[in-house]
Amino acid sequence: MPAEEEKEGVSMARYTDAKCKLCRREGQKLYLKGKRCSTTKCPIERKGAVPPGERPKRRPSRLSDYGVRLREKQRLKRYYGVLEAQFRRYLRKAEKSGDDVGTVLLRLLETRLDNVVHKLGFCWSKNQSRQLIRHGHVLVDGRKVDIPSYNIKQGQVVSLSAKAQGLSAVQEARDQIPNEAVPKWLERKGLVGKVKRLPEEEELEGNFDVSLIVEYYSR
């Protein structure tokens, strides 16, 4: 394993520094701080996408082909909040599917329960959605599921427990995140959501070039 990948992989497993630094490192908003990311308090809005510890350069250094693929892989991992071992498992599953590897990989990540709860607008960030799930506040087809990585299937219904519905953060998200902000492959009515269909690649946020990631692991 290359030194840079090993170092970053370990740091993500026990990352305790400011999450906004990850956004600046990847040069885009990863929406790790929820509501704050959509305000002028976002460091990228104030400082620009300058990696932490560096000063703006007139001519940014050009990454090698390996560096470009590595950064794209790290960007995708951080966006969905998964670790290296998890990410490799998703990739292997996508490769065994027989379909387009990139599309299947993105769908596996996008249909994670923590991501679906967040995209339905039940909370402001994936960190909040993971807390709700781990505390047993999320129901799938009426049954409690406390595994953030659980993959939601087409037609399944996601809802919140009565206790979670009374949380101020959940009520605030419900009132301030409009139904129009919910992706078209999902449907939300109050604090109940449904997966109408699997997402298409062009519907996914982040503009990830998955072909670079597949090339990274096939090198």
DSSP states of 38-51: GSTTSHHHHH-SPP
In this structure, are 131 and 83 located in the same domain? no
Q: What is the band of 28 on the pLDDT scale with cuts at 50, 70, 90?
A: low
CATH number, domain containing residue 148: 3.10.290.10
Helix (H, G, I), strand (E, B) or coil at 31: coil
| 166 phi/psi in degrees, rounded to 5 | -90, -5
pLDDT at 130: 95
Pair 103, 211 in one domain: yes
Per the structure, the count of domains in the chain is 2
Verify that 78 and 99 share a domain, yes or no: yes
Q: Alpha helix locations (H) across the chain? A: 3-13, 20-26, 43-47, 65-80, 84-96, 101-110, 113-119, 126-134, 162-165, 168-176, 210-217
- pLDDT band with cut points at 50, 70 and 90 for residue 146: very high
Output the average pLDDT for the chain: 83
Query: Using one digit for the tens of pLDDT, what is the confidence trace for 89-105?
Result: 999 999 999 899 988 99
CB 163 within 8 A of CB 157: no
* Environment class of 5 (CB within 10 Å of its CB; exposed 0-12, middle 13-18, buried 19+): middle
Task: Report the alpha-carbon distance of residue 74 to residue 159 in Å, rounded.
Answer: 31
Average pLDDT rounded to a whole number, residues 18-22: 62
With a pLDDT cut of 90, the percent of the chain lying above it is 62
pLDDT at residue 42 is higher than 80: no
Taking the C-alpha atoms of residue 102 and residue 124, their distance in angstroms, rounded to an integer, is 27
| Separation of first and last alpha carbons in the chain | 12
Domain ranges, residue 104? 3-108+206-217
The pLDDT of residue 119 is 95
pLDDT band at 10 (very low <50, low <70, confident <90, very high): very low
